[in-house]
Structure 1
Amino acid sequence: MSVMSPLPSTSAIQTIQEIPYQLLRQLVADKVTGKLTIQNPFDEFVNWQIYLGNGKIHFANSAAGSIERLNYLLGSHLHQRKITLPPQLTDDYRYLCDLWKQEIFSFQQTRSILTQFTQEALVQILSLPKTTCYLDPKGGLEQLFLNLNLEQVIAPVQHKIRYWWELRSEVNSPFQRPLVEDWNRVQTTLAKAHHQSNGWLKKLHHALESLQCLYGIASQTQLSTLQLAMLLRPLIKTGEITMLPYQEIQTDNRPLVVCINDRPAIQRMVQYTLVANGFKTMALEDPFKALAILLSQQPSLVFMDAQMQDMSGYELCSLCRKTPSLKDLPIIMLTDNDNLIERLRAKLAGASGFLQKPFLPQELLQSIQGQLPARISLEG
């Protein structure tokens, strides 16, 4: 293990490139106070946070995905108390503190829950390779419940850290979303290798169909994220499951139109035309990442190029139609040829409409008007 030089004393946010395990040990040894943010080097949407005070751990959590982690770590407790999580939640620590203030949990129960949240986050953080970290000396918590010793808090989960370290090449985060193209093959493999019951497989199938992240799937199948990752690992290695990145739902009142196309000229024209008519737009090139983003963003309409290298628009459209929350999504297929065969392929894939390239802005708007008549006005 390399020996790091002491960090300079400063009130400004510092950017540090280091292995999180080594960095955290030094910060604790130096009795540092502040908030340490750790980027997941494999997924731009996933960051982790550790709150430090005089070399002690006050709390650790994820910077995103609070709802998924709360459901996973606390779902059974909330269900027993008939508590429903809010639709949006950005501060899980404050939420848990509020439950204590409402006397839903005792002080000791709250400490136990916060310790569990911290340990689970530390498992993910300390199993990451060298990455970018940000230290904010002014970052802190309003109310303190914990003052944990690093060695003592990670001792019970040291084996999980090692397992996750080994899993990183296949599963880089519990926030990843598994994509299954052929459920029958996956079901057969799991049933043979692990003798899973039909009831458990149905729960897994439902969670996979809705493209949930591992936290959500683990909650529904009553497994830990580690157990689930190890169960799916062989299928990921063989390519039967593709792991997609995580992205949270973004809030915007304007209707969203997504264009999945690898041609910049088309993307620019779509964006220029639609933004001028009251839409927000999103340009995507990778069809594998597109499915996860469509699920999280819930757009009003999608333009999908029929001819893409890694996965055709017809294949992607079919996958959308097999996903419950996307089965009614208006999808307009963009194709180079307007003939009976292409129109038939688009129809069989479940496309809502058909538009031949190249097209004029008026034609683009008209194709949307047929799907969303109340959401657009044609202006000269």
Structure 2
Amino acid sequence: MESAMTESHLYTVKLNNWLQAWSQGQLRNGRLKIQDSNGRQQWSLYFHLGHLIGDAGGVHPRRRWLRQLAQYCPQIQVDPIHLYQEQKYRSDDYEFLAALMSKREILRQQMVSVVQGSVAEVLFDILQQEQWLRDRSLPPLSYTFTPEENLYAAPLVFLSPDRSWQQAKQAWQKWCQAGLEEFSPNVAPLIWQREELQQQSSPVVYRSLVSMVDGKRTLRDLALRLRQDPILLTQSLLPYIRRGWMKSIEVGDIGEKLEHIIKRGSQSSTAQPKTTSPLIAYIDDSPRDSQLLGRILTQAGYRYISLQDSVLALPMLLEHKPSLIFLDLVMPIANGYEICAQIRRTSVLKDTPAIILTSNDGIIDRVRAKVVRSTEFISKPIEAPKILNVVRKYLEFGD
């Protein structure tokens, strides 16, 4: 059966079958390499005698390893820069922990917890990346299995592949049920509008946010530091992100230069928006659609602001004066028609292109859009060619 493992598309059901095969002893020693179509995202899972014994790769391997050490071996101090060699099995790290075990400085259960925690994060990230690609009809992940009889001389940790996978799926389901599927726990929150945040927050809350939210710690890092559940922490920051007072940004691994940051889901090098590029606003209460449109526009070089609170939309538009506005129709309190009508009654914004972007694509919806003088009416799903064509139609700016 091992010889039949060749490069192929990876789906959760298929990966689940392979992990069950390892759990049942049908496969033995080797490395399963998982990557996206352009090789920017890569993970490795290592197996020994049907057990899962370790992992490598991902966006932040050093951060991930340090989090596990801090949580399960807090008495151990290590140099993060030399923890991990890219694309190699972390035998040095395991030898390090094994040496500590032999000296009775840590218990075997501590080492098991470190490896288990790291594997859980890797499997979660694979699930999220797979979902992200599937939602956007992008090429799926692929895998390559390489049998290796002498992978590791004496593994000290043996995890059940099937059980690890089931636990990761449960964690991912909880993340989605909390409405966070478009938020990676590997992004770092950053205060974007300090004055507005200070005016709208109590002094105690403001000082706490300033001390924590510095754009250097990921959501996972912050959750560990604050001893909070990552879901509850992310949900507590969502109101600030939705109002534009904070942003979630991608950060590099420890010791990694910014220009080497792996862009999650990117299919080509991402163009950074210039300060002189047109600003485009999108009013929609859906975090998923807001982040998707944001990626499309920022990768094309445009500046982007997401407004997820329809009540605060008009004041934010007056403050930022975008060059083009996208609006969803169905939102609580104020819908897209009402906001578009307000825009047309405002002298500063009355000539700004306002594009209705919605799942409601009936004749009545289109007529109402014309009544409130929307510039165009586009039906979802949000797709890059469709969005960029209409943007270029009204804005003179090259990618």
State whether structure 2 residue 114 is matched by structure 1 residue 118: no
* In the alignment, structure 1 residue 67 sits paired with structure 2 residue 43: no
Equivalent in 157, 182, 207 of residue 170 of structure 1: 182
Residue type of the alignment partner of 2:249:
L
What is the aligned partner in structure 2 of residue 36 from structure 1?
32
For these two proteins, the number of residue pairs brought into alignment is 252
Equivalent residue, structure 1, for 2:95: 97
Distance 2:54 2:225 in 1: 26
8 A Cα contact 1:39 1:47, kept in partner: yes
Structure 2 SS opposite 1:212: coil
Q: 2:35 touches 2:142 (CA, 8 Å); kept in 1?
A: yes
Equivalent-residue separation in structure 1 for 2:10 and 2:200 (angstroms): 39
Q: State the Cα deviation string for residues 192-247 of structure 1 (Å, max 9, x = none).
A: xxxxx93x764542342243322332233332433333333444455443333343
How many Å separate the matches in 2 of 1:212 and 1:188?
A: 24
Task: Kindly provide the amino acid, as one letter, of the partner of residue 161 in structure 1.
Answer: W
Q: Helix, strand or coil for the counterpart of 2:81? A: coil
- 2:81 corresponds to: 87
Change beyond 3 A, Cα 1:110–1:78: closer
Per-residue deviation, residues 90-127 of structure 1 (Å, max 9, x unmatched): 25563243133133323333223322322333333344
- The structure-2 alpha-carbon separation of the partners of 1:141 and 1:106, relative to structure 1 and needing over 3 Å to count, comes to same
One-letter amino acid of the counterpart of residue 126, structure 2: I
* CA displacement 1:304-323 (0-9 Å, x = unmatched): x6523349xxxx9xxxxxxx
Q: 1:177–1:214: 8 Å Cα contact kept in structure 2?
A: yes
Q: Which residue of 1 aligns with 2:193?
A: 182
For 1:146-161, what aligned pairs fall within 5 Å after superposition? 146-154=157-165, 158-161=169-172
CA shift, 1:44, in A, is 7.3
Other-structure match for 2:142: 133
**2:32·2:145 contact (CA, 8 Å) conserved in 1?**
yes
Distance in 1 (CA, whole Å) between partners of 2:95 and 2:225 is: 26
Query: Hey, what does 1:245 align to over in structure 2?
Result: 250
Unaligned runs of 5+ in 1: 1-6, 192-196, 259-282, 288-304, 317-380
Structure 2 Cα separation of the partners of residues 46 and 227 of structure 1: 27
Give the 3-state SS of the residue equivalent to 1:9 in structure 2: helix
After superposition, residues 1-80 of structure 1 pair within 5 angstroms as 9=3, 14-29=6-21, 31-33=26-28, 34-39=30-35, 46-80=41-75
**In structure 1, how many angstroms separate the alpha carbons of the residues matched to 2:118 and 2:166?**
15
Q: 1:225 aligns with which of 218, 226, 230?
A: 230
Q: 1:63–1:143: structure 2 CA closer, same or farther, 3 Å change rule?
A: farther
2:218 to 190, 213, 216: 213
1:309 aligns with 2:305: no
Identity in percent: 18
Distance 2:96 2:157 in 1: 16
- Kindly indicate whether the alpha-carbon contact (under 8 Å) linking 2:186 and 2:218 is maintained by their aligned counterparts in 1: yes
The amino acid of 2:120's aligned partner reads: Q
Structure 1 residue identity aligned to 2:9: Q
SS, match of residue 7 in structure 2? strand
Q: Partners of 2:93 and 2:207 in 1: how far apart?
A: 32
Give me the TM-score of the superposition, normalised by structure 2. Answer: 0.50
In the alignment, the residues of structure 2 paired with residue 307 and residue 178 of structure 1 have an alpha-carbon distance, to the nearest angstrom, of 24
* 1:371 equivalent in structure 2: none
Is 2:80–2:254's contact at 8 Å kept on the other side of the alignment? no
Deviation at 1:286, TM superposition (A): 1.3
CA deviation vs aligned residue, 1:59-90 (integer Å, no higher than 9, x gap):
23543423312332321555434x14333422
Residue 137 of structure 1 aligns to a residue in which SS? strand
Change (3 A) 1:118 1:93: farther
Q: Secondary structure at the match of 1:59?
A: strand
- SS of the residue 2:31 aligns to: strand
Per mean C-alpha deviation after superposition, the further-off stretch among 56-65 and 182-191 is 182-191
Contact 2:20–2:161 (8 Å) recurs in 1: yes
Paired residue type of 1:19: Y
